């Protein structure tokens, strides 16, 4: 098995096909979308492939060390930040093809007009632990 991160972006990914911002959806469309995401996670749990799923607030701050005895420097939030992560799902699947298949399903979540959003999701493999036998 291999773990993959399915990464959802607020910004930074190419534009989806059904590109209507969420705040312009009807309440029913929003409910249908949320239901789809919940069903997706439940289905993954049922197949024994679910590891984790979280959503992030769009507001974020950059922080860095500013020298001994000084408080860390903060900066932002940056409205113009190019890449903004909205959330993720971590899956544990048998093959890379299966990871792509699941990302495809997730991208089909319904949006405006009840039609699939076709949003772009980033699929990133986890680094693993080294296998014992390598020679």
Q: Which residues bind other proteins (CB under 8 A)?
A: 1, 3, 44-52, 92, 94, 125, 127-133, 135
Compute the distance between CA of residue 54 and CA of residue 86 in angstroms, rounded to an integer.
9
Tell me which residue has tokens 């699929």.
Answer: 123
Compute the distance between CA of residue 24 and CA of residue 71 in angstroms, rounded to an integer.
41
Parallel, antiparallel, or unpaired: how do β-strands 50-55 and 2-11 relate?
A: unpaired
79 versus 133: smaller Cβ distance to other proteins: 133
44 versus 102: smaller Cβ distance to other proteins: 44
In whole angstroms, the minimum distance from the beta carbon of 134 to other proteins comes to: 8
44 versus 103: smaller Cβ distance to other proteins: 44
- Kindly report the backbone phi and psi dihedral angles of residue 114, in degrees, each rounded to the nearest multiple of 5, phi listed first: 70, 10
- 116: its two tokens: 């699939």
In whole angstroms, the minimum distance from the beta carbon of 95 to other proteins comes to: 9
In whole angstroms, the minimum distance from the beta carbon of 100 to other proteins comes to: 17
In whole angstroms, the minimum distance from the beta carbon of 125 to other proteins comes to: 8
Angle at the Cα of 105 from the Cα atoms of 97 and 120, rounded to 5 degrees: 90
- 133: its two tokens: 């036998």
């Amino acid at each position: 098995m291999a773990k993959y991160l399915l990464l959802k972006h607020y910004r930074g990914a190419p534009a989806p096909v059904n590109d209507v911002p969420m705040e312009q959806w009807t309440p029913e469309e929003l409910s249908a979308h949320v239901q789809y995401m919940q069903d997706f996670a439940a289905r993954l749990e049922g197949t024994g492939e679910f590891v984790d799923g979280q959503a992030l607030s769009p507001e974020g701050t950059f922080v860095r060390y500013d020298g001994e005895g000084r408080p860390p420097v903060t900066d932002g939030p940056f409205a113009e930040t190019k890449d903004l992560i909205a959330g993720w799902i971590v899956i544990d699947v048998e093959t890379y093809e299966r990871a792509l298949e699941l990302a495809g399903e997730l991208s089909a979540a319904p949006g405006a007009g009840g039609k699939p959003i076709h949003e772009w999701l980033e699929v990133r493999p986890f680094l693993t632990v080294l296998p014992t036998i390598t020679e």
